[in-house]
Amino acid sequence: MKIVDVTVETFHYRSGMVRDSDGHGHPGPEHDARQSLTTIITDEGLKGYAIANISKGVLESVIKPVLLGESPHYRERLWHQLKERQRLNLATLTDKVLTVVDLALWDLAGKAANLPVHKLIGATRDKVPAYASTMCGDDLEGGLNTPEDYANFALWSRDRGYPAFKLHTKQPPYAGAPSAKADIEACAAVREALGPDVPLMLDPFHYYSREEALYLAKELEHLEYYWMEEPMDEHSMSSYVWLCENTRLAICGPETAEGKMHTRAEWIKAGACDIVRGGVGDLGGITPLLKVAHLAESFNMRMEVHGGGPGNLHVLCAMGFPGEFYERGLLHPFVDYEKPAPWLNKINDPMDDEGFVHVSQEPGLGQDINFDYIQANLLETY
């Protein structure tokens, strides 16, 4: 089997999500937006798909020269070849672009083997407990504006079946943010609402000082929180070593730091985290995420997967020991998460009333793509 073509089809849709000046998503006025479908096509007619925005330019100049004529089963070699090309193409060949290619290759491999990806890897389970992961704080009345808003939404999440809850607190450009004190007020309100036994987590502003990060950690110790993520710039690994040495709260990371599995290995060696962090979009696909999962297991550490989506879900259902939760969201009181995106016939991560997300048993990644919608809403590629 050989790869004969790689295509990108860009289409438009109506979105009710907007981004603030720092890039965080919030509910907002409906507007036109765009998305892309990447397809890897073989000479045997099998196709692998991934949905994410990707530039036609980087596809033609970097990706196609690596993939065309190659066997799609050589995912490891193809991933390394693209990774090595990042050195001179950092502006365009990002880890998110690597993710698109890698996901499509895994989707294709599962279809060729007639297996869902987690069983192709080597499954440990078919469902995983989820935590409710909120959007960042906002100034919307009844949204995620006040500690009471977070508490009310935490109660709704508990009633929906989520066994755990994570706050993303207010971040710039919102007035008063960042504020470590305001973060703790929201965290305290959620703890009071849910009681002492529900696992709670915090993902705050990412550029607090050491003193502010330690204040957060110490307060979260008293509130018996489960972990905290990325309260400081992750390029300062020594700051995280210092933080881990000065708190009993579990510190989870690195999340967005570049360097893939190499950076995670250095953090483990240095003692800069208690729980390792990684997701397909942070690392460049399923291929490197598996490396980090095995790395964590080798050190008897948990690895909590960053973000949702089919790639992360399939890896979680192949991991077993290192990963406890699926991050479901981002959630908001004004957003119906159960409604599929217009390019999907059903959501990727259905959750039952007991808080378990069930992985697809269809071959490949198992996305139920609405190809008719995509074809009816195509735009010129760019």
Pairwise CA distance, residues 6 & 36, whole Å: 13
- In the predicted structure, residue 50 carries a pLDDT above the cut 90: yes
Per-residue pLDDT, 333: 98
Reported confidence tier of residue 98, pLDDT bands at 50, 70, 90: very high
Burial 198-234 (b: 16+ CB within 10 A, else e): bbbbbbbbbebebebbbbbbebbeebebbbbbbbbeb
Q: pTM for this one?
A: 0.97
Pairwise CA distance, residues 339 & 348, whole Å: 11
Q: If you average pLDDT over residues 121-137, what whole number do you get? A: 97
Q: If you average pLDDT over residues 56-74, what whole number do you get? A: 95
Whether a cis peptide bond, with omega within 30° of 0, leads into 178 is yes
Per-residue pLDDT, 367: 98
Q: If you average pLDDT over residues 274-301, what whole number do you get? A: 97
Pairwise CA distance, residues 145 & 132, whole Å: 17
End-to-end distance of the chain based on CA atoms, in angstroms? 29
Contact 349, 313 (CB under 8 A): yes
Which residues lie below 8 Å from residue 264, measured CB to CB, with a gap of 6+? 254, 276, 277, 278, 292, 295, 296
* Helices and strands per DSSP (H, E), number in the chain: 14, 12
Question: Considering Cα of 137, then 216, then 262, then 294, what sign does the dihedral take?
Answer: negative
- In the predicted structure, residue 182 carries a pLDDT above the cut 60: yes
Per-residue pLDDT, 257: 97
What DSSP letter does each residue of 204-265 carry, written as one string? --TT--HHHHHHHHHHHHHTT-SEEE--S-TT-HHHHHHHHHT-SSEEE--SS-SSHHHHHH
Provide the 3-class DSSP secondary structure of residue 28.
strand
Average pLDDT, the chain: 97
Better-scored residue on pLDDT, 76 or 55: 76
CB atoms closer than 10 angstroms to residue 94: 18
CA separation (Å) from 77 to 26, 86, 102, 332, 377?
Answer: 39, 15, 11, 40, 35
Contact 227, 304 (CB under 8 A): yes
What share of the chain has pLDDT > 90, as a percent?
96
Over the stretch 77-92, which tens digit does the pLDDT of each residue have? Answer: 999 999 999 999 988 9
Better-scored residue on pLDDT, 322 or 217: 217
Q: If you average pLDDT over residues 181-187, what whole number do you get? A: 98
What DSSP letter does each residue of 335-378 carry, written as one string? --TTSPPTTBSS-SS-B-TTSEEEPP-SSBT---B-HHHHHHTB
What share of the chain has pLDDT > 70, as a percent?
99
For the chain, list the domains and their CATH numbers.
3-114+370-376 (3.30.390.10), 119-358 (3.20.20.120)
Per-residue pLDDT, 60: 94
Burial 70-89 (b: 16+ CB within 10 A, else e): eebeebeebbeebbebbeee
Residue given tokens 């989707």 in the structure block: 107
Reported confidence tier of residue 138, pLDDT bands at 50, 70, 90: very high
Over the stretch 363-382, which tens digit does the pLDDT of each residue have? Answer: 999 999 999 999 999 997 55
Which residues lie below 8 Å from residue 5, measured CB to CB, with a gap of 6+? 39, 40, 41, 68
- In the predicted structure, residue 274 carries a pLDDT above the cut 90: yes
Contact 7, 50 (CB under 8 A): no
Per-residue pLDDT, 53: 81
Over the stretch 290-304, which tens digit does the pLDDT of each residue have? Answer: 999 999 999 999 999
Q: If you average pLDDT over residues 319-335, what whole number do you get? A: 94
Per-residue pLDDT, 220: 99
Reported confidence tier of residue 353, pLDDT bands at 50, 70, 90: very high
For 366, the token pair is: 């198992």
For 88, the token pair is: 């001179």
**340 phi/psi in degrees, rounded to 5:** -70, 150
Name the DSSP letter for residue 63: I
Residues forming beta bridges with residue 358, ordered by sequence position = 127
Least confident stretch, 44-53, 79-88, 284-293, 317-326 = 317-326
- In the predicted structure, residue 344 carries a pLDDT above the cut 80: yes
Pairwise CA distance, residues 72 & 343, whole Å: 25
Per-residue pLDDT, 381: 59
Pairwise CA distance, residues 234 & 131, whole Å: 24
Contact 358, 350 (CB under 8 A): yes
Q: If you average pLDDT over residues 222-242, what whole number do you get? A: 98
- In the predicted structure, residue 179 carries a pLDDT above the cut 90: yes
